[in-house]
Amino acid sequence: LCPSGWFFSFYSGTCLKIYSESKGWDDARNICRKTAGSDLVKIVSYSMNKFIAGALSDMTWIGLQQGSFGSHEFHWLDEKEEVGATKLN
């Protein structure tokens, strides 16, 4: 079971938590890392992407980052390999 205030995602097999405070990407990641050693969410499937998008009503940070400023390469925090087609906005 997930801790109080978290919910289980069948898409990722993990517990997720949505924070309502407005933060920048670095601050959002730091809050996640300090909370039970978690991190920003990694979207692992199209179904999970639709679920996350439907659960959120505003812009939200996820664990996807740009290779370098102006680069068109993106990768998940725990991977070096470039991400393929992803809806980024």
Q: 59-69: per-residue pLDDT in tens?
A: 667 777 776 66
Chain-centroid distance of CA 87 in Å reads: 13
Ranges of H-type helices in the chain: 25-34, 46-55
Q: How far apart are CA 27 and CA 7, in angstroms?
A: 22
pLDDT (tens digit per residue) in 76-86: 777 666 666 55
Beta bridge mates, 55: none
pLDDT (tens digit per residue) in 8-34: 888 888 888 888 888 888 999 999 999
Reduce the DSSP state of residue 33 to 3 states and report it: helix
Residue 67 is encoded by which pair of tokens? 């290779």
pLDDT (tens digit per residue) in 43-61: 888 888 888 877 776 666 7
The bridge status of strand 64-66 relative to strand 14-16 is unpaired
**What's the chain's average pLDDT?**
78
